A and B are shown apart, each in its own frame.
Chain A
Amino acid sequence: MDVKAQLPGRVTEVLVQHGQAVTKGAVLVALEVMKTRVEVRADRDGTVNHVAVKDGDEVLMGQLLVRLAP
Chain B
Amino acid sequence: MSAPALEVVEPGFLSTVQDLGRRGYFAAGIPPSGAFDRFALRVGNLLVGNPPGEAGIEMTLMGGRFRVLRDTVIAVTGADMDATLDGAPLPRWEAAAARTGSELGFGVAQAGCRTYLCLAGGVDVPSVLGSKSTYLIGKIGGVRGRPLRGGDRLDAPPGARATPGRRLTPSLIPSYGPAVELRVILGPQEDHVTEESVRTFLTAPYKVSSKADRVGYRFEGPEFRFRERAKAVEAGSDPSNIVDDGNAIGAMQIPGGKETICMGPDGVSMGGYVKIACLIAADMDRMAQARTWDTVHFRAVTHAEATAALRDALARAGGANLIG
Residues of A that sit less than 8 Å from B by CB: 6-10, 31-36, 38, 58, 60-61
B190 at the interface (CB under 8 A from A): no
Q: Which residues of A contact B300 (CB under 8 A)?
A: none
- CB-based nearest B residue for A59: B293
In this complex, the member of B108, B210, B213, B292 whose beta carbon has the largest number of chain A beta carbons within 10 angstroms is: B210
Contacts A/B (CB < 8 Å), 8 sampled: A7-B13, A8-B293, A9-B210, A31-B210, A34-B61, A34-B213, A35-B213, A36-B213
User: Is B212 an interface residue, CB under 8 A from the partner?
Assistant: yes
Are B292 and A33 interface neighbours, CB within 8 A? Answer: yes
Most buried by B among A10, A32, A33, A61: A33
Chain B residues near A (Cβ < 8 Å)? 13-14, 60-62, 108, 209-213, 215, 291-293
Q: Is the CB of B62 within 8 A of A34?
A: no
Q: Are A7 and B108 in contact (CB under 8 A)?
A: yes
Query: Are B211's CB and A32's CB within 8 A?
Result: yes
Given contacts A8-B291, A34-B14, A36-B14, 7 further A-B contacts (CB under 8 A): A10-B210, A31-B210, A32-B210, A34-B60, A34-B61, A36-B13, A60-B293
Residues of B within 8 Å of A35, CB to CB, are 210-213, 215
- Min CB–CB distance A7 → chain B (angstroms): 5
Q: Distance (Å) between the CB of B70 and the closest chain A CB?
A: 32
Query: Complex Cα distance A31/B293, Å?
Result: 14
Shortest CB-to-CB span from A26 to chain B, Å, is 21
In angstroms, Cα B61 to Cα A36, docked, is 12
Q: Contacts of A6 on B, CB cut-off 8 Å?
A: 62, 108
Shortest beta-carbon distance from B221 to chain A in Å: 14
Closest-by-CB residue of A relative to B110 is: A61
A-B pairs with the 7 shortest C-beta distances? A10-B210, A8-B292, A32-B210, A9-B210, A35-B213, A35-B211, A34-B213
Query: How far in angstroms is the closest Cβ of chain B from A49?
Result: 26
Query: Which residues of A have CB within 8 Å of B212?
Result: 34-35
Instruction: List the B side residues contacting A33 at CB < 8 Å.
Output: 13, 61, 210, 292
CA distance in complex: A8, B291 (Å): 8
CB–CB A7/B61 < 8 A: yes
Name the B residues within 8 Å of A58 (CB-CB): 210, 293
Residues from chain A with Cβ under 8 Å of B292 in the complex: 7-10, 33-34
Cα–Cα, bound, A36→B14 (Å) = 10
Q: In the complex, which residues of chain A have a beta carbon less than 8 angstroms from the beta carbon of B13?
A: 7, 33-34, 36, 38
| A38 to B293 alpha-carbon distance, docked (Å) | 17
Q: Which residues of B contact A31 (CB under 8 A)?
A: 210
For residue A46, give the distance in angstroms from its CB to the closest CB of chain B: 24
Q: Kindly name the residue among B108, B212, B213, B292 whose own CB sees the greatest number of chain A CB atoms within 10 A.
A: B292
Q: In whole Å, how far is B207's beta carbon from the nearest beta carbon of chain A?
A: 8
How far apart sit A6 and B60, CA to CA, in the bound complex (Å)?
A: 13
CB neighbours (8 Å) of A8 from chain B are: 61, 210, 291-293
A6 to chain B, nearest CB (A): 6
A58→B291 CA distance, assembly (Å)? 13
Q: How far is the CA of A50 from the CA of B127 in the complex (A)?
A: 51
Q: How far is the CB of A8 from chain B (nearest CB, A)?
A: 4
Cα separation A9 to B292 with both chains bound (whole Å): 6
Assembly CA distance A10 to B209 (angstroms): 9
